[in-house]
Chain A
Amino acid sequence: MTITLVHYVVLSALLFSIGMIGVLTRRNAIGILMSLELLFNAATINMVAFAKYVTPQEITGDIFTIFIIAIAAAESVLGLAIILALFRKRETINADEMNIMKY
């Protein structure tokens, strides 16, 4: 039994759903950011698998994955900086207590 492209699509769909549960249920803002990394990785598994199966000669999916990893790192750095700044001001990093923009 060989591994086909559908196997990778199913794997990334399951990983995406698990990450979505994390984004929706984590109270801690760091937990939400870490669950977002799972979503990014689900997308990149798809990109690499499609690149290898559909266009093996021009590996655009690999290049996109490199850019996604770089942008995810930038996003993670900024998110954690915002969390630290918020922690100094409000003494909490729980997402359901961040109501500072509520009128």
Chain B
Amino acid sequence: MVETILFYGFAALILISALLMVFAPNIYHSALFLALSLFGVAGIYVVLNSYFLAGIQVLVYIGAVVVLSLFVINLTRRIIEADSDQHNEQLLPAVIISALTAFLIISAALKTNWGTMIAHRVAQDNTALTGRLLLNEFVVPFEVVSVLLLAALIGAIAIVAGDKKGAAK
């Protein structure tokens, strides 16, 4: 019962703030609604008993990605305020295509014969198992991801710093 209430509450939070994010006329408000929506996703992880993932979601997405987006918005603000129109003229085709996609996925999910696999789930905290899997079975992808993050870090600095003349300024 508690799970039902929490699921619908967080689902409503995610979908409403995602809609507000997509249609907000101000890009700054849009980033703040994105943070709210990602917080709702963290709540869904809590409902699914993935507490570690919920923490990661808040730390990485809300703490890093959204804040980084806000910084870039502030750095490019002059241009954003110059023209207020934040949406192109493709709104109607985009809504139609997205609605058709949602209809396709949902009708496929409802028509699928899931059998007994969806009946219930084991409610247990898997944080310890996650740590063990990351350092045993998935240690190679784990290290590859850390190299990828290092490459992204160096790449981002190289792109933004530009040539030596620009960096000296």
Contacts and interface: CB of A to CB of B under 8 A. Distances in A.
Nearest to A1: B4
A103 to B, nearest CB: 22
A63 B134 contact: yes
B85 A27 contact: yes
Contact of A24 (B11, B44, B97, B141): B97
Which of A9, A17, A56, A76 has the most C-beta atoms of chain B within 10 angstroms of its own C-beta? A17
Contacts of B157: 81
Given A27-B85, A66-B56, A74-B148, A22 B76 contact: no
A92 B69 CA distance: 16
Contact of B14 (A11, A48, A63): A11
A9 B112 CA distance: 12
Given A25-B90, A41-B38, A2 B126 contact: no
A47 to B, nearest CB: 10
B168 interface: no
A76 to B, nearest CB: 5
Contacts of B45: 48
B25 to A, nearest CB: 11
A20 B97 contact: yes
A90 B4 CA distance: 50
| Chain A contact patch, size range | 35 or more
A18 B95 CA distance: 9
Interface string B1-16: 0011001000100110
Contact of A72 (B65, B69, B151, B159): B65
Interface in A1-45: 1-11, 13-22, 24-28, 30-31, 33-35, 37-38, 41, 44-45
Contacts of B22: 18-19, 21-22, 25-26, 35, 38
Interface string B26-41: 0100110010011001
A73 B56 CA distance: 12
B156 to A, nearest CB: 4
7 contacts: A18-B15, A24-B98, A27-B86, A37-B34, A41-B37, A44-B41, A81-B156
